[in-house]
Structure 1
Amino acid sequence: MRTKILIVAGIAAAGYVLGTRANRPVARESVRHQLVRLWNDPKARKRREQQAKQLQKDAGKTAKRLRKDAGKKAEHLAKAARKRAKDLGR
């Protein structure tokens, strides 16, 4: 008799837990709502704009530096090629 009561109590507890979980709102909706609210926040929008400007500025500096370095490397290779051609032409 005691085991039957424990089995019934266990089934009732499991049903209660599963029933309460079934009535919870879907978590994805609240997360989506929070993300939309954060995306539309004026402070966040201003910060994204500032970061975009900074990235463009940094990209310009990097491109300028790479062009300069590539030019130096090209001059060095051209000089080495002329020297090699001169040595081979002896």
Structure 2
Amino acid sequence: MGHAIATARQRQQYLDRELGQPPPAPTAPKGLLIWGSVGSGKSLLMQLFYDMVEHAKLVPLRRRMHFNAAMLEAALRTSAAKTTCAAAP
């Protein structure tokens, strides 16, 4: 087993020298908008994705929202922030 690990490390070092270091991973998106016509499978896609994330416990804090509810929440938060900023001395 030790020989196999050493060989794998040597091969990895060789590839790193020849190809260079891999680029850094891109930053993860903070949100997602799925666009499509009625009946194109947007809700099905989101349900499958949400079930996978929940099953794998990949994201501890997550919410599934309908677009209209998300836009309403964004408007309410924006309004509250404006009110708070206006009231600040």
> Shorter-chain-normalised TM-score: which range?
under 0.3
Larger Rg: 1
State the TM-score, normalized to the length of structure 1: 0.27
